[in-house]
Amino acid sequence: TKTISKCYVQVTGMTCASCVANIERNFRREDGIHSILVALMAGKAEIRYNPAVIHPSAIAELIRELGFGATVMENCGEGDGILELVVRGMTCASCVHKIESTLMKTSGVLYCSVALATNKAHIKYDPEIIGPRDVIQVIKDLGFATSLVKKDRSASHLDHKQEIRQWKRSFVVSLIFCIPVMGLMIYMMVMDSQLSDAHAHHNMSDEEMEALHSSMVLEYQLLPGLSVMNFLSFLLCVPVQIFGGWHFYIQAYKALKHRTANMDVLIVLATSIAFIYSFVILLVAMAEKAKVNPVTFFDTPPMLFVFISLGRWLEHVAKGKTSEALARLISLQATEATVVTLGPDNILLSEEQVDVELVQRGDIVKVIPGGKFPVDGRVIEGHSMVDESLITGEAMPVTKKPGNTVIAGSINQNGSLLISATHVGADTTLSQIVKLVEEAQTSKAPIQQFADRLSGYFVPSIVAVSVVTLFAWIIIGFVDFEVVEKYFQGYNKSISTAEVIIRFAFQASITVLCIACPCSLGLA
């Protein structure tokens, strides 16, 4: 017997089934080529050849001559099949040993490990020599019941419904409270500009100005130091801080626990500090019975939460759409297959229903009219029309006769077909598509990785800058108080200069933090 070796070649530039047919047709004519199998989606060809006549680099060269890119794949472990089984009826370690030693003696089994505690067996085998049904039969012959580990076909791990709901709720809550806060802000701005106009035209004294200022409805003091504006803003800000920011707080806590700083940390930092600072300054003003209302930042948290939760919500909706498409793809896979045994002259000897995972390469599968093709294969007998629109988008049925290839998941229409399985399990076109989409979903865009990396440096640096601001202003204030006086108008003359300086320094550093937070929006 002449020895037959196997090699894998990565093929690029194949666009459709006719490219595959082209390669396969040309290779059948070559000397030393025993068989060739090309998988379009995986871009991979598996060639069995006679090493005495031809070697892999020459095979790759032949494919290149046909106009495709080809490189020989060095690590060909990809041809190994992996099988997970549940084995019932094992009682002790000797049972385990019996199964393992018998399987390892079986030709084609490369590796086998059986765990008594979980009743699981993990087997690696060479699909050329042996298949999952044979392995199961070996274990059954030893007197143990065995079955496949059921795969979750529902794709529930791709479901984003819960996140979509949670971010939508977060966004709506923030929005409801944000609108009045923005309204108040705009009203204040408009009134302020009118006042400054009035001030410019009628040279009023500062006292009159103050009187006019405090006559505004929103500046009206409910309690000394507590204006209507600040009180309303505070009331609107609390629910947003709690309900809108809930998820952010959880995420930020988790990040800090692992000593990393992400977007959530920055958002939480800015909103919490703005909120707490404004709250404390209000309490101080009330304690001092201040005449002038303090400047608060209650408008920052609601607006930030609105924008960010909107962004997160949209992101999950987009992810959900892809996942939905993927779940539909997965649901196209057939769950069972009818494997038949053929006698001489293609006479049906027997047929049995088996799980799709148990179909092995080279099996003859019967597909009845209206049935789905369980695996990729080649027609051996029968004529039919097949609806392949799931892969090709072609609405017209395609004629299939002996020698044509069929794709798993497509639907057989009017005739019964016998096909020989060429690609099974994870190698079918459909499984490859699902795998590609899943990989695309789990991998991040380069710009996203860059943003995450940046925010790792961004958060600590912003915090550092605001701390520097705090100390810088304290130093400036004690060295030259007039500078602070120039920028910090309307402070209460009755409080000490040290307190004025520290208050101003705090206000400056909080401003830095709050203003830097929208930069994180830019990053997001």
- DSSP summary character for residue 156: G
Return the closest-CA partner of residue 420 out of 483, 360, 486.
360
CATH number listed for the domain at residues 333-433: 2.70.150.10
Q: What sign does the CA torsion over 80, 339, 428, 19 have? A: positive
Is 429 in a helix, a strand, or coil?
helix
Tokens 């050329």 — which residue? 128
Whole-number pLDDT of residue 208: 59
Contact 199, 208 (CB under 8 A): no
Return the closest-CA partner of residue 53 out of 3, 107, 119.
3
Q: Is 441's pLDDT higher than 70?
A: no
Is 184 in a helix, a strand, or coil?
helix
- C-alpha–C-alpha distance, residues 335 and 153, integer Å: 9
Q: What is the mean pLDDT of residues 256-285?
A: 78
Pick the CATH number of 5-73 from 2.40.50.140, 2.40.160.10, 3.30.70.100, 3.90.870.10: 3.30.70.100
Give the bridge partners for 386, in sequence order.
398, 412
- DSSP summary character for residue 238: H
Q: Is 435's pLDDT higher than 90?
A: no
Report pLDDT digits (tens) over 76-107. Answer: 555 677 888 899 888 888 888 999 999 999 88
CATH architecture of the domain covering 81-148: 2-Layer Sandwich (3.30)
- C-alpha–C-alpha distance, residues 465 and 486, integer Å: 23
pTM: 0.57
Q: Is 151's pLDDT higher than 70?
A: no
Answer yes or no: same fold for 5-73 and 81-148: yes
- C-alpha–C-alpha distance, residues 305 and 153, integer Å: 37
Structure tokens at 2: 């002449």
Length of the chain: 524
Q: What is the mean pLDDT of residues 467-495?
A: 77
- C-alpha–C-alpha distance, residues 428 and 440, integer Å: 18
Domain boundaries, the chain: 5-73, 81-148, 153-332, 333-433, 444-523
Whole-number pLDDT of residue 213: 58
Whole-number pLDDT of residue 204: 60
Q: What sign does the CA torsion over 18, 19, 22, 23 have? A: negative
Enumerate residues 6+ apart whose C-beta is below 8 A from 20: 14, 38, 40, 405
H or E segment to which residue 469 belongs: helix 446-479
Report pLDDT digits (tens) over 352-361. Answer: 998 888 888 8
* 31, 267, 483 from 300: Cα distances, Å: 76, 11, 27
Three-state secondary structure string covering 59-127 = HHHHHHHCCCEEEEECCCHHHCEEEEEEEECCCCHHHHHHHHHHHHHCCCEEEEEEECCCCEEEEEECC
Q: Is 489's pLDDT higher than 80?
A: no
Whole-number pLDDT of residue 203: 64
